[in-house]
Every structure is written in C-alpha cells, then in structure tokens.
C-alpha cells in the first residue's frame, strides 16, 4: 500500500480522486483548514499551502508518490497565477526530490500547450518547465486534462445553467472544437498513475474517447436529447465579450475579488482547438473512459437541479 502525498484534495477533481484513492492507499493531504470529510476517509492531513516549505516537507516525508492537483484556476492577476501554479509546483517538486519520492504526477492543463493565450495557460506551462528543471530525481508524469465536468464543478456552472435552461450563451470560438472528460474518469486515471509501470516522462492528454473532440452544436444536440427540450447556442462576438469582461473586472476590483471572466482569459476561450492528443494513453491499456457525454451531462444536470445552490456544494479549491 503506497503512501501518496496529495495536494488539491478539497477541490473539485481532488474530492472525487481522494474518495477513490483512499480505498487502496494511505493518503496524506495538504489542506488549508481542517477537513472532517477527509478524516472520515482515513486521510492524514497536513495544514499549510504551497507557499509553506515546512508543510510541504511534512507532506512528502515517507511518501512514494506525489499527486499534485492543487492550483489557481481563477486569480486577480498574472503574478498570482505564477505564484500558485509555477512557484508552488516548483517548491513541491524540490520537497519531493529531497524526500526521495519515487514518482511525481503533475496535473497540469491542456491550456499549457498554448501558453500565449492567457496568464493561466502560461503559468501552467511554466509549472511543467519548473518541475522538469528540478532534474528528474523521480519518475515524472504530466497529465493535461481537457475541460472536466461533473457534479460539484463550479468552473462549468454557467455552462450547466445554460444547458438546463435551453439557452447557452457562448463566449468562445463558434466553430472551435474541444475535448471533454467526466470527472470520475479522470479520478480513476489519476489513481492508476500511482502504481502503473513504465510511465516516466509521459505527457498524457486524456479525453472521453471521442475522436476529433466536440463542437458546440454537437454538445447542444446531446444536451437536447438529455433534457428533452431544445438547447440553442447563442454566440457572443469577441468584441462584446471583451466589453462584458471589462465591466466584470471593474466590478470585481471594487469588491476586491477576482473577476469572473478576465479579459486575459478570452484568448483561451476563443482559441479554436482544444482537442486532446490521447496517443500516449496506450501506455495505460487498462484505463478507458467509462462515462459518455450523454450520461455525464445527465448526472451533472441532475446534481444541478437537486442542489439548489450548487456553487456552495464544494466549499473551496485545493491549496
């Protein structure tokens, strides 16, 4: 039974992953605040965050594998993205090297393929480069998930709302294509990466198995079948999206919060190709995505309708 040091256990992907991980492994998780639900699973917790070298040393001491999920998806500025995503990953990698961890699994993002499109994408690409620069004292596996969806996700909440209501406002490339993956399938993949042999140096881009990804009209067609009502796509021209994003930034600045849709993120949203290249997954022949888009949307929409205020379901992202 391997000891797995986990970051991001209280985030969307982390919560799904830790439930599966704790069945077969000893898990030690980095958390900012006490987490009773983790304790109930038998997970040991270490208080701290990615800025805390002492906490990181405690987290990785005696661990065979580091599973690094934590990161900033929303931030006030470019500096914060880099402090959390790049600096934090580098700091954790150095701690893992000092503790002689055998394997380091870095959960990055498909956005890292295109670092020019946003500060988030650039910070994820930099995180990969920083971990590689540590010198490979451990086996390194990089996972670049596409858009992940499922019950409890706040990042796709507006998308779920639109599908539920039958009207999907679209601040994105109208003819763009993208891959998707249901959260439980990603969690299962991450758990398998703890023990699977022969993975050193791989960059994995897992998806739901749909060759060529999805288009917005195809997504709307599946949602129409699932909901039993027509779902219409409403494209938002990029100049209008820019104005809406600017207004959101001004309001967020007055509130002292991160903007819901920063202008910087528009380059990522309007990029036309977010389709995974899943060829490297041949090294994991026993993993296959099990939940197709129709079933995944059905489960997600059921959660959305039942939860009332779904943004409160998961109280926070990982440290």
pLDDT digit string (tens) for 130-163?
Answer: 999 998 899 999 999 999 999 988 778 788 888 8
- Convert 193-220 to b/e letters by CB count within 10 Å (16 or more is b): bbebeebeebbbbbbbbbeebbbbeebb
Q: Please give the average per-residue pLDDT across 262-270, as a whole number.
A: 94
Average pLDDT, the chain: 92
- Length of the chain counted residue by residue: 319
Share of the chain above pLDDT 70, in %: 96
Question: Do the strands 3-7 and 65-68 form a parallel or antiparallel pair, or are they unpaired?
Answer: parallel
pLDDT computed for residue 308 by the predictor: 64
Least confident of 113-127, 170-184, 304-318: 304-318
| Domain 3-151+180-209+276-289 class, CATH top level | alpha beta
| 215-233 confidence digits (pLDDT tens) | 999 999 999 999 999 999 9
**pTM score of the predicted model:** 0.93
Angle in degrees, 0-180, between the axes of helices 216-227 and 293-307, rounded to the nearest 10:
60
Helix, strand, coil abundance in the chain, percent, nearest 5: 45, 15, 40
Q: Which two tokens stand for residue 306?
A: 């039942």
pLDDT computed for residue 317 by the predictor: 35
Shortest CA distance to 139 belongs to which of 9, 8, 2, 20? 2
Instruction: Classify residue 190 by burial, with Cβ atoms within 10 Å: 0-12, 13-18, 19+.
Output: buried
pLDDT-based confidence at residue 312 (cuts at 50, 70, 90)? very low
pLDDT exceeds 50 at position 84:
yes
């Amino acid at each position: 039974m391997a000891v797995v040091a986990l970051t991001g256990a209280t985030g969307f992907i982390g919560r799904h992953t830790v439930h599966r991980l704790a069945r077969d492994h000893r898990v030690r998780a980095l958390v900012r605040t006490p987490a009773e639900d983790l304790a109930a699973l038998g997970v040991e917790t270490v208080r701290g965050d990615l800025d805390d070298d002492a906490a990181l040393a405690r987290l990785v001491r005696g661990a065979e594998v580091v599973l690094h999920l934590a990161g900033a998806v929303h931030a006030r500025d470019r500096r914060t993205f880099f402090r959390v995503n790049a600096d934090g990953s580098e700091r954790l990698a150095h701690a893992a090297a000092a503790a002689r961890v055998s394997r380091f699994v870095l959960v990055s993002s498909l956005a890292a393929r295109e670092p020019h499109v946003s500060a988030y994408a650039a910070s994820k690409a930099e995180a990969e480069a920083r971990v590689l620069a540590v010198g490979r004292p451990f086996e390194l596996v990089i996972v670049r998930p596409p858009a992940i969806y499922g019950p409890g996700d706040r990042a796709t909440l507006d998308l779920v709302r639109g599908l539920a209501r039958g009207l999907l406002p679209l601040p994105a490339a109208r003819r763009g294509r993208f891959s998707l993956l249901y959260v439980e399938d990603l969690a299962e993949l991450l758990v398998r990466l703890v023990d699977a042999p022969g993975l050193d140096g791989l960059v994995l881009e897992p998806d739901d198995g749909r060759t060529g990804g999805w288009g917005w009209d195809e997504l709307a067609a599946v949602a129409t079948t699932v909901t039993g009502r027509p779902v219409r796509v409403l494209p938002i021209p990029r100049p209008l999206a820019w104005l809406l994003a600017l207004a959101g930034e001004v309001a967020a600045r007055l509130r002292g919060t991160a903007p819901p849709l920063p202008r910087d993120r528009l380059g990522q949203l309007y990029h036309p190709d977010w389709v995974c290249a899943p060829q490297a997954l041949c090294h994991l022949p026993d993993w296959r995505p099990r939940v197709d888009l129709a079933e995944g949307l059905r489960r997600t929409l059921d959660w959305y309708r039942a939860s009332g205020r779904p943004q409160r379901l998961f109280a926070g992202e990982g440290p």
